[in-house]
Amino acid sequence: MKYIASQFATTDQSATGVEIAAAFHDYVTDSDDTFASLLLARPAGRRPGVPALAFIAEPECGTVFVARHIAAALVAHNFVAVSLLRTDDPITTRMIRVLEDIVPDVFLAVSKNGRDVWDGVPAASVVAVLTPTGVFFEAREAVRFDPSLSPSAARRTLVATYTPRRSEVAW
Protein backbone atom coordinates (compact mmCIF):
# COMPACT_ATOMS: atom_id res chain seq x y z
CA MET A 1 0.00 0.00 0.00
CA LYS A 2 2.82 2.37 0.85
CA TYR A 3 4.40 1.84 -2.58
CA ILE A 4 1.07 2.35 -4.35
CA ALA A 5 0.58 5.59 -2.43
CA SER A 6 4.11 6.74 -3.27
CA GLN A 7 3.45 6.28 -7.00
CA PHE A 8 0.74 8.93 -6.81
CA ALA A 9 2.49 11.20 -4.33
CA THR A 10 5.60 11.53 -6.50
CA THR A 11 4.08 11.67 -9.99
CA ASP A 12 0.66 13.31 -9.70
CA GLN A 13 0.51 16.53 -7.71
CA SER A 14 -3.09 17.32 -8.69
CA ALA A 15 -5.62 17.50 -5.87
CA THR A 16 -7.14 14.17 -6.93
CA GLY A 17 -3.72 12.52 -7.22
CA VAL A 18 -2.88 13.62 -3.69
CA GLU A 19 -6.23 12.28 -2.44
CA ILE A 20 -5.66 8.92 -4.16
CA ALA A 21 -2.22 8.69 -2.54
CA ALA A 22 -3.84 9.43 0.82
CA ALA A 23 -6.55 6.80 0.23
CA PHE A 24 -3.91 4.07 -0.06
CA HIS A 25 -1.47 5.55 2.47
CA ASP A 26 -4.12 5.82 5.22
CA TYR A 27 -4.17 2.03 5.51
CA VAL A 28 -0.42 2.03 6.17
CA THR A 29 -0.27 4.89 8.66
CA ASP A 30 -3.47 4.23 10.58
CA SER A 31 -2.70 4.03 14.29
CA ASP A 32 -5.05 1.06 14.64
CA ASP A 33 -3.10 -2.23 14.70
CA THR A 34 -5.81 -3.90 12.60
CA PHE A 35 -4.30 -2.62 9.37
CA ALA A 36 -0.68 -3.18 10.37
CA SER A 37 -1.31 -6.88 10.99
CA LEU A 38 -3.41 -7.32 7.85
CA LEU A 39 -0.70 -5.79 5.69
CA LEU A 40 1.99 -8.21 6.86
CA ALA A 41 0.76 -11.00 4.58
CA ARG A 42 -0.07 -10.32 0.95
CA PRO A 43 -3.01 -12.01 -0.72
CA ALA A 44 -2.15 -15.14 -2.63
CA GLY A 45 -3.36 -13.87 -6.00
CA ARG A 46 -5.40 -15.66 -8.64
CA ARG A 47 -5.51 -19.13 -7.14
CA PRO A 48 -8.39 -21.34 -6.01
CA GLY A 49 -9.56 -20.43 -2.54
CA VAL A 50 -8.36 -16.82 -2.68
CA PRO A 51 -11.29 -14.48 -2.03
CA ALA A 52 -12.16 -12.48 -5.14
CA LEU A 53 -14.29 -9.38 -5.48
CA ALA A 54 -15.55 -8.03 -8.79
CA PHE A 55 -16.40 -4.36 -8.22
CA ILE A 56 -18.77 -2.67 -10.61
CA ALA A 57 -18.54 1.05 -9.83
CA GLU A 58 -21.50 3.26 -10.76
CA PRO A 59 -20.74 6.42 -12.75
CA GLU A 60 -21.38 8.62 -9.69
CA CYS A 61 -18.47 7.02 -7.80
CA GLY A 62 -15.45 9.28 -8.04
CA THR A 63 -11.88 8.08 -8.48
CA VAL A 64 -10.88 8.74 -4.86
CA PHE A 65 -14.00 6.96 -3.61
CA VAL A 66 -13.21 3.90 -5.75
CA ALA A 67 -9.55 4.04 -4.60
CA ARG A 68 -10.64 3.84 -0.94
CA HIS A 69 -12.73 0.74 -1.65
CA ILE A 70 -9.98 -0.93 -3.67
CA ALA A 71 -7.51 -0.26 -0.84
CA ALA A 72 -9.89 -1.70 1.77
CA ALA A 73 -10.55 -4.80 -0.33
CA LEU A 74 -6.82 -5.37 -0.85
CA VAL A 75 -6.13 -4.95 2.87
CA ALA A 76 -8.84 -7.56 3.50
CA HIS A 77 -6.76 -9.95 1.31
CA ASN A 78 -9.03 -10.11 -1.72
CA PHE A 79 -8.21 -10.41 -5.38
CA VAL A 80 -9.90 -7.30 -6.82
CA ALA A 81 -11.33 -6.83 -10.30
CA VAL A 82 -12.86 -3.46 -11.21
CA SER A 83 -15.32 -2.45 -13.91
CA LEU A 84 -16.10 1.26 -14.21
CA LEU A 85 -19.46 2.33 -15.63
CA ARG A 86 -18.21 5.69 -16.83
CA THR A 87 -15.68 7.11 -19.21
CA ASP A 88 -12.26 6.97 -17.61
CA ASP A 89 -10.67 10.27 -16.81
CA PRO A 90 -6.86 10.52 -16.95
CA ILE A 91 -6.41 10.15 -13.18
CA THR A 92 -8.63 7.06 -13.00
CA THR A 93 -6.73 5.57 -15.92
CA ARG A 94 -3.44 6.28 -14.13
CA MET A 95 -4.68 4.69 -10.90
CA ILE A 96 -5.75 1.56 -12.79
CA ARG A 97 -2.39 1.32 -14.60
CA VAL A 98 -0.41 1.79 -11.39
CA LEU A 99 -2.39 -0.96 -9.64
CA GLU A 100 -2.03 -3.34 -12.60
CA ASP A 101 1.73 -2.68 -12.70
CA ILE A 102 2.39 -2.91 -8.95
CA VAL A 103 -0.01 -5.66 -7.83
CA PRO A 104 -0.93 -7.65 -10.96
CA ASP A 105 -1.36 -10.82 -8.90
CA VAL A 106 -4.23 -9.28 -6.90
CA PHE A 107 -5.73 -6.60 -9.18
CA LEU A 108 -7.36 -6.59 -12.60
CA ALA A 109 -9.03 -3.79 -14.53
CA VAL A 110 -12.02 -5.24 -16.33
CA SER A 111 -12.77 -2.00 -18.21
CA LYS A 112 -10.16 -1.26 -20.87
CA ASN A 113 -10.43 0.90 -23.96
CA GLY A 114 -14.18 1.23 -23.52
CA ARG A 115 -14.76 -2.53 -23.32
CA ASP A 116 -15.22 -4.92 -20.44
CA VAL A 117 -12.98 -8.00 -20.56
CA TRP A 118 -13.89 -10.48 -17.82
CA ASP A 119 -11.55 -13.32 -18.87
CA GLY A 120 -9.06 -12.87 -16.02
CA VAL A 121 -11.67 -12.59 -13.26
CA PRO A 122 -11.80 -15.71 -11.06
CA ALA A 123 -14.98 -17.74 -11.61
CA ALA A 124 -15.95 -17.71 -7.93
CA SER A 125 -15.78 -13.91 -7.62
CA VAL A 126 -18.43 -12.15 -5.60
CA VAL A 127 -19.96 -9.28 -7.53
CA ALA A 128 -20.16 -6.04 -5.56
CA VAL A 129 -21.94 -3.02 -7.06
CA LEU A 130 -20.39 0.11 -5.60
CA THR A 131 -22.61 3.20 -5.26
CA PRO A 132 -22.00 6.50 -3.46
CA THR A 133 -24.32 5.38 -0.62
CA GLY A 134 -23.48 1.70 -0.25
CA VAL A 135 -22.21 -1.53 -1.70
CA PHE A 136 -24.61 -4.19 -2.95
CA PHE A 137 -23.33 -7.75 -2.96
CA GLU A 138 -24.47 -10.62 -5.13
CA ALA A 139 -25.26 -13.00 -2.26
CA ARG A 140 -25.13 -10.81 0.84
CA GLU A 141 -27.00 -7.97 2.42
CA ALA A 142 -26.21 -4.51 1.14
CA VAL A 143 -23.93 -2.37 3.28
CA ARG A 144 -24.90 1.29 3.65
CA PHE A 145 -22.20 3.86 4.37
CA ASP A 146 -22.45 5.99 7.50
CA PRO A 147 -21.16 9.50 6.68
CA SER A 148 -20.91 10.36 10.39
CA LEU A 149 -18.04 7.89 11.01
CA SER A 150 -14.55 9.20 11.69
CA PRO A 151 -12.01 8.49 8.93
CA SER A 152 -10.40 5.73 11.02
CA ALA A 153 -13.77 4.12 11.82
CA ALA A 154 -14.78 4.36 8.16
CA ARG A 155 -11.59 2.52 7.13
CA ARG A 156 -12.20 -0.23 9.70
CA THR A 157 -15.79 -0.55 8.46
CA LEU A 158 -14.67 -0.86 4.84
CA VAL A 159 -12.08 -3.52 5.65
CA ALA A 160 -14.71 -5.44 7.66
CA THR A 161 -17.15 -5.09 4.75
CA TYR A 162 -14.68 -6.69 2.36
CA THR A 163 -13.36 -9.35 4.72
CA PRO A 164 -14.79 -12.71 3.59
CA ARG A 165 -16.96 -14.57 6.06
CA ARG A 166 -16.04 -18.18 6.80
CA SER A 167 -19.58 -19.30 5.98
CA GLU A 168 -19.32 -17.98 2.43
CA VAL A 169 -17.90 -20.86 0.44
CA ALA A 170 -17.64 -19.13 -2.93
CA TRP A 171 -16.05 -16.06 -1.42
Residue-wise pLDDT tens digits, 89-102: 788 888 888 888 88
* Stated pTM of the model: 0.78
Task: Using a pLDDT cut of 70, give the percent of the chain over it.
Answer: 68
Closest Cα to residue 136, out of 58, 25, 39, 27?
58
Model confidence pLDDT, tens digit, residues 77-86: 888 999 887 7
Tell me how many domains the chain contains.
1
166 Cβ contact list (under 8 Å, min separation 6):
none
In sequence order, which residues have a C-beta less than 8 Å from that of residue 155 and are 6 or more positions away? Answer: 26, 27, 30, 32, 35, 68, 72
Host domain of residue 8: 2-162
The answer to whether residue 168 is domain-embedded is no
